[in-house]
Structure 1
Amino acid sequence: MTLLGPRRPVREPVPFLDLPEAHRRIRPELDAAWSAVLDHGAYVGGPEVARFEREFADHVGVGACVGVANGTDALELILAALGIGRGDEVVVPTNTFVATAEAVRAVGARPRFVDVRPHDLLVDPAAVEAAIGPRTAAVVAVHLFGQVADMPALDAIARRHGLALVEDAAQAHGARLAGRRAGALGHAAAFSFYPGKNLGALGDGGAVTSADAGLVDRVRVLADHGRDPHDRHVHRVSGRNSRLDTVQAAVLRVRLRGLDADNAARRRVVATYRDLLPESCRVLAVDPRGEPVHHLAVVEIDDREAATDALTAAGIGWGIHYPIPCHRQPAFAGDGPPPSLPVADAAAARILSLPCSPGTTTDQIERVAAVLADHPRRDR
């Protein structure tokens, strides 16, 4: 007879992002939404698309919205609609997902990378102004990790130099600064509805918002093969095919109803992290004028490799956003030697994204905090 020792309790993994749980809560509404699409059969350009565009524009607080295929297309279409192209430069923070810079390249312009602020890793307005030159046509403000960039300062700079100010709001659905939502603070804004976003579809999707209805109309034409809005057989310009499909719009309409509540839950998650994490983890600062939505719960930590090894061993999900700043990506090596952007370079080796979903529990956060407090530091 084999004697067995006491069994250790098996603890469930802590997911980095729990999408199945988020969808379980609204499954009956989702079932009704896509059943309606199946019944009417308008799988492209169905009525749910226009309804979502109106509802999302109202949520953001702007006059117009057009759904497109993804967030990268949204950025590219904005730049194209603004007439930005070959010979132009666009100022872009280096601490962003590569899509921000890809969109600039896609219209034939050159991204001019600038550094970020050390306390929140958002674009530094002083660095933006220092980078402006005779070829600068626009500034892209990235609302990274769910917090709005310093738009009052950036807007003043853009106005002073006669530049377009574009918002990359792919990580900031519902975020506010001084009472105004992301997506209503520049000439136009690009949103992504990739499944992991705060407002996510069940596949790719994106949108452009703006108070300038004419700009949105130009985006709509470009995204629909350059088609004349009054005669679908006439193509006034050379455009492309970039559309938000009906079923995704139907899903987004359901998820939009709970977005503010989900964002409030994310704020509670990050507030709990602030209370429980050890001093070795620095949670990024929040602008007191703002209301972030914490698309990601980002901290800075000294020995990231040891920390991530310990988290993995404990069954806890994690991410890094982003380990290689854009100015050091091989894709942009042809633009010349990488500029000196010390804040982003230093942060790239220290940033760590912790589990953060509306349903992340205090127990799960306590487990994360305990692992990060106890993990062994390697000699450096």
Structure 2
Amino acid sequence: TRTLNKIVTENAPLPASALVESESQARAEPRKKIRLASPIIDAEMKAAALAALENEMMVMGESVFKFEEEFAKYCGTKYAVSTASGTAALSITFQAMSIGHGNEVITTPFSFIATANSIVHAGADPIFADVEDSGMNLSPRKTRVKIGSKTRALMPVHLYGHPSRIDEFHDLAAESGLSLIEDACQAHGAEFRGRKVGSIGDAGCFSFYPAKNMTVGGDGGIITTNDEELADVARSIRDCGRDKNSKYYHGRIGFTSRLNTVNAAIGRIQLKRLEAWNEARRRISEQYRKELENVRDIILPPLEASFEKAVYHLFVIRTKFRDQVKKRLADNGIETGIHYPRPIHLQAPYREKYGYAEGAFPLSESLSNEVLSLPMYPTLAQDEVVRVCEALKKSLVA
């Protein structure tokens, strides 16, 4: 009898009050957080890292040279020189080109601050020109009027993975006798007229920071070029100024900025996946556009021209209600970012050194007040994109 009563009790229907309590708890459970970015490090990458650690020199091992060769081939250049970071790649490029004190480099104020810092580290001065009237990249027209007697190079940024008007910059640099450096730190695999960015200028510079389209499991960077001398000098600078064939003879002042072997081993696997990941990013961007195309009070990223291929490192919208939207998305468990809340010319070091003030570059300043980066990574699910968009729409009408 006791056993029978136990069975009946355990299997009896829950009272209505318990059902209500259970439903309330289910509703109260927090939804899965949607991250802004989600780097991928899988079992194959971990195995490659371990194999490199156990079988190669920890610095400048075989994986480093293979990674450089494979990345150059991917970009369509003859040479690639790995570095410790994207910032280092930029700065080493300027030094390898003998761009330094007394020289100027024209670039955009609307980018990550490392774009300008790399110029200053080389001893040169950044000269800013504003972005395009209907885009977020550096304007060739506004760049032209900034060229002066001290100008040595132009450096457009392929911001958020969108190719800049690199053909116009190429022509402008050629007619003015200037070097052209592509800041491709956010644009691994982006294309312009069938050519990969980083292969069009005199040099291209990439970053492998974990949130980028591909990573090396930490910081890292790489320089791409078709110029053999530039590549040789860059290799020397990144390795304490060491001569090419003499370990303890140094022909120039360099510094330590080498990519670790373990990082290179991870990068080799990531590079194999890059095209598929970029296609996933492009599909996600298309879904965002469809979900948000008729939403008032937001501006979507510029559409690609037929001869461009963007790779959507970030999917960045504009809205005058940016801070409100960001907060309400956060309340719904959705991470967003602001890239970037203050343009470079208004950052403290550049205000102090060069005397910039508000109003100097109005379009860049306007972007800084309105841009909002939505979640973007290859494994972002369709239903998660829908959730982001629905929450965004509600945040604008609330």
Q: Partner residue of 1:287?
A: 304
Name which of 133, 145, 149 aligns with 2:148.
Answer: 133
Give the aligned partner of residue 346 of structure 1: 366
Q: Establish whether residue 302 from structure 1 lines up as the match of residue 317 from structure 2.
A: no
**Which residue matches 1:328?**
346
Q: Distance in 2 between matches of 1:239 and 1:31?
A: 32
Contact 2:106–2:153, Cα closer than 8 Å, also in 1: yes
Shift of 1:336: 2.1
Q: Quick check: 1:266–1:357 contact (8 Å CA) kept in 2?
A: yes
2:181 partner letter:
V
Q: What is the TM-score when the length of structure 1 is the normalising length?
A: 0.95
The CA deviation at 1:287 is 3.1
Give the deviation of 1:361 after TM superposition: 1.2
Deviation track 1:47-101 (CA, whole Å, cap 9, x = no partner) reads: 0000000000000000000111100010000001111111111101011100010
Aligned match of 1:357: 377
Distance (whole Å) between structure 2 residues aligned to residue 62 and residue 311 of structure 1: 42
Instruction: State the alpha-carbon separation in 2 of the partners of residues 160 and 45 from structure 1.
Output: 39
Do the aligned partners of 1:120 and 1:286 also contact (CA within 8 Å) in 2?
A: no
Runs (4 or more) in structure 1 with deviation over 6 Å come to none
Any conservation in 2 of the 1:325–1:348 contact (CA below 8 Å)?
A: yes
Identity, % of aligned positions: 35
TM-score by structure 2 length?
0.91
Deviates more, 1:225-234 or 1:253-262: 225-234
Distance in 2 between residues matched to 1:254 and 1:97, nearest whole Å = 27
Task: Give the secondary-structure state (helix, strand or coil) at the position aligned to 1:39.
Answer: helix
Q: Give the corresponding residue for 2:247.
A: 232
Counterpart for residue 96 of structure 1: 111
User: 1:116 & 1:318 partners in 2: Cα distance?
Assistant: 23
* 1:146–1:173 Cα contact (<8 Å) kept: yes
Counterpart CA distance in 2 for 1:176 and 1:290 is 6
SS of alignment partner, residue 299 of structure 2 = strand
Task: Give the conservation status (yes or no) of the 8 Å contact 1:147–1:286.
Answer: no
Map of 2:212 onto structure 1: 197
For the residue of structure 1 that corresponds to 2:44, the secondary structure is helix
- What's the offset of the Cα at 1:41? 4.1
How is 1:1-380 mapped onto 2 (pairs within 5 angstroms)?
Answer: 4-5=20-21, 6-7=23-24, 8=27, 10-19=30-39, 22-23=40-41, 27-277=42-292, 278-288=295-305, 289-333=307-351, 334-338=353-357, 340-376=360-396
Kindly provide the amino acid, as one letter, of the partner of residue 270 in structure 1: S
8 A Cα contact 1:79 1:104, kept in partner: yes
CA contact (8 A) 1:119 1:284 kept: no
Q: What amino acid is aligned across from residue 355 of structure 2 in structure 1?
A: G
Q: For each residue in 1:180-201, what CA deviation from the matched residue of structure 2 results, as whole angstroms up to 9, or x when unmatched?
A: 0011010001111111110112
- Tell me the equivalent position of 2:7: none
The residue type paired with residue 96 of structure 1 is S
Cα deviation, residue 376, structure 1: 4.8
Cα-to-partner distance string for 1:259-310 (whole Å, 9 max, x where unaligned): 0000000000111000002233221113312111000000001201110111
Amino acid across the alignment from 1:265: A
Does the 8 A contact of 1:67 with 1:206 survive in 2?
A: yes
Contact 1:286 1:292 survives alignment (8 Å): no
Q: Distance in 2 between matches of 1:43 and 1:136?
A: 40
Q: Compare 273-282 and 57-66 and name the one that shifted more.
A: 273-282
CA distance in 2, matches of 1:46, 1:12: 41
Deviations 1:201-244 (A, max 9, x none): 21111111101111111100111111111111111111111101
Counterpart contact for 2:346–2:356, Cα < 8 Å:
no
Moved more, 61-70 or 224-233: 224-233
Q: Secondary structure at the match of 2:247?
A: strand
**How far 1:10 sits from its partner (Å)?**
4.3
Determine the C-alpha separation between the residues in 2 that align with 1:363 and 1:372: 14
> Structure 1: which amino acid aligns with 2:197?
A
Q: Is the 8 A contact 1:45 1:246 kept in 2?
A: yes
SS at match of 1:243: coil
Q: Could you tell me how far 1:28 is from its partner in structure 2? A: 2.7
Decide whether the 8 Å contact of 2:119 with 2:125 is kept in 1: yes
Q: 1:306 to 1:377 in 2, by over 3 A?
A: farther
Residues 184/376 of structure 1: CA separation in 2 closer, same or farther (3 Å cut): closer
Number of residue pairs matched? 373
Aligned to 1:282, the other structure's residue is in SS state coil
Computed over aligned residues only, the root mean square deviation of the Cα atoms, in angstroms, reads 1.4
Pairwise CA distance, 1:377:
5.9
Contact 1:144 1:171 in 2 (8 A): yes
What residue ranges of structure 1 are gaps of 5+ in the alignment?
Answer: none
